[in-house]
């Protein structure tokens, strides 16, 4: 999973944190790249404005966990990338 370049990362993060996704503060599972999240955790689709910034994320889902954005592969439920807060 590719990462947005540095110039887009700030804009991408601001768009994500202004969205409707709720933040997960009570984390009781691993949060590193490659870790599979529980299927009970709701991963959200990206808004069109975010896909305009990073089109490669079209099939990716995300969760807001603590202060970080975790990009989730919807097929495996694995964390593929973390955009730190």
Is 1 inside a domain boundary? no
Split at pLDDT 50, 70, 90, the class of 73 is very high
User: Which CATH number goes with the domain that contains 16?
Assistant: 3.10.450.160
Is 66 inside a domain boundary? yes
Number of domains in the chain: 1
pLDDT in tens, 2-60: 565 666 666 666 666 666 567 787 777 667 899 998 888 888 888 887 788 788 888 99
Give the SS3 label for residue 75: coil
Neighbours of 18 (CB within 10 A): 10
Is 49 inside a domain boundary? yes
Would the pTM of this model clear 0.85, i.e. be above it? no
Two structure tokens written together for 13: 């993060």
Domain that holds residue 72: 6-83
Is 53 inside a domain boundary? yes
**Which pLDDT score, from 0 to 100, does residue 79 have?**
93
Is 13 inside a domain boundary? yes
């Amino acid at each position: 999973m590719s990462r947005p370049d540095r110039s887009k990362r700030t804009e991408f993060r601001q768009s994500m944190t202004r969205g409707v996704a709720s933040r997960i503060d009570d984390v009781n599972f691993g949060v590193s790249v490659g870790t599979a999240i529980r299927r009970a955790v709701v991963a959200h689709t990206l808004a069109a404005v975010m896909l305009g910034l990073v089109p490669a994320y079209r099939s990716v889902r995300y969760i807001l966990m603590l202060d970080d954005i975790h990009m989730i592969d919807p097929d495996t439920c694995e964390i593929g990338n973390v955009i730190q807060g």
